[in-house]
Chains A and B, each alone.
Chain A
Amino acid sequence: MFTGSTDQARRAAKKELEAHLSRKFNDYFDEEIPTDDSVFVRDPPLLWRYFVLPRKEGEDEAMADSDYIVSQIMAVNTKIENAYVFSSGKNMGCFKGVGYPEEIGEYFMLDRLYRAHTWTVHGRFPTNTQAWWGGAHPFGLLDTTVVHNGEVSSYGTNRWYLEMYGYACTLQTDTEVIAYAADLLMRRQRLPIEIVAKILAPPIWAAIDRMDEKEKRLMTALRMTYGPLLMNGPFAVIIGETGRMVGLTDRIRLRPLTAATRGEIFYISSEEASIRLISPHLDRVWTPRGGEPVIAEMKGYEKGYEKGHEKGYERIC
């Protein structure tokens, strides 16, 4: 995405980004992201997509491709003025902007151009920062996306901790830290979501005191090790990944989240009504408990985390 108040500024950002890409990647194909210009949206940025392969040189050669790509995204977002990467998946695309969700959907022609097995949609009314295209949800990094309702009041602490791992928060809104925490914990540190949920929304100490010895040790260790990644404040999030979708609220559930199933389809939303709009008939509707993730996995994509923290989460499909 290239922002800037004039077309000239956007083209200059694009030129600079492409110079950077040509040093770091082999560009196989690139194009402007198709949009329906008959849909009115205010001040759209220049939106371009690049299909690239890493060209790692020198000490970068030891890096995993995914780490290399993440580090380059951070470099672009911090160093190239008016250029931001807001979608970087292999098999995942983020489409976002300023406007009503249905207008953004029509602008990107989602119904005409794209098919997917997992969809997340979000409408946001920014209360603490200015609305801009990069600040819309979802926040994505590689194949993981996050949408969020609430407020991360621990943003400063979380941001400081994530910066130590090379994540630069540039998009001016709190949800960004959840996306990067998910990337750090799930992709880089390979922690299972059940554990990640207990890092982001840990049980309170009084509850830990009542646990059996083994669980108490685990929860205590997580709180000690990952204290700065505790997400304080009210939140409900939906994390989308390849073949998996996870819903999670803060531990005392200060934001709503309703889950439902119909046949083999899983739904999760802030409100039951929005699920009913898509599927008037549902097999099961429930309110997930605070701090306990609801995990839906696509058949054939199960992540294979079986042992360990047996209770406190639900697995669908």
Chain B
Amino acid sequence: MTTSPRTTGRISRLLAMLPWVIGNPGCSVDEVCERFGYTQSDLIKDLNTVFVCGLPGYGPGDLMDASFDDDEIVIEMADYFSRPLRLTAPEALGILASGKAVQSAGSGGDALDRAILKLERTLLPEGTESVVVDIPEPQLVGELRIAVLEGRVMQIDHTSIASGTAKIRDIEPWAVFTTLGNWYVSAFCRNANAKRVFRIDRIRTAARTGDRFTPSPTSGDATIRYTPGDDDVHVTIRLSGEATWVAGYYPVDVVDDGPDAMTIQMSVGDAAVAARLLIRLGSNAAVLEGSEAANATADLRSRILEVYSQDT
């Protein structure tokens, strides 16, 4: 059995709050609430805990002293809690990598740059930059972010990754985000009359239409998920040799995992996605079921080879 997450969370916050209040005697209740995310009653509960705890003996001279009146808090007799706890590795990585991601995307400022330098000096050995986060921001991200903030309808010229076809769309951008190395904008697409997520590097141009929309507070869902649809293309593939990496890379069902070969089932929104994958896998993949994907592969193969049928 382990201690409950709620208790753990309370102790964690207490051990962060104590050093700060000890170091800033006379600080206000409001300030401590804001800094450490307390409600006033939770803070008072924790302060009431503090002054019944302390050192063995547990007499008046051994317990910590916490006093608060009207608006001021003072904690005394607690020197041993005056230094903040060191960061664990996940905490240190989390804060440093978050800072560096924002810095790399060009959305930080001088204060962030200074904060990162200070963190690096205390968390990492001296020398060259040993933790690097590189998420360069493509063109249009800035413009789309402004559109999200200001509720501007944008006309975009977008080429679908799946089908390769370009289309002009009017979108109400909800959120701009990056994951797995790509930038996306999630939006309500007025042409499709539905929520869509677009890869920003596949948006050729984005222009304001002049229209405005009212952003909904729940619309900014910054995730991309594969959601199965009725029009999905299903294909069963036998993978051999080096091609088994596919099973770890794409969302697939492994039907059979033998010593020499693996059989997978995958569903894709467009047969062209399967076709490109199958050509890349070459003789290491064989389509067992799924004529649509097999036909799309043959079609793609002949379209590419047609280009190469004349000498340069």
Partners in one complex: no
Which residues of A are at the interface with B, using a C-beta cutoff of 8 A? Answer: none
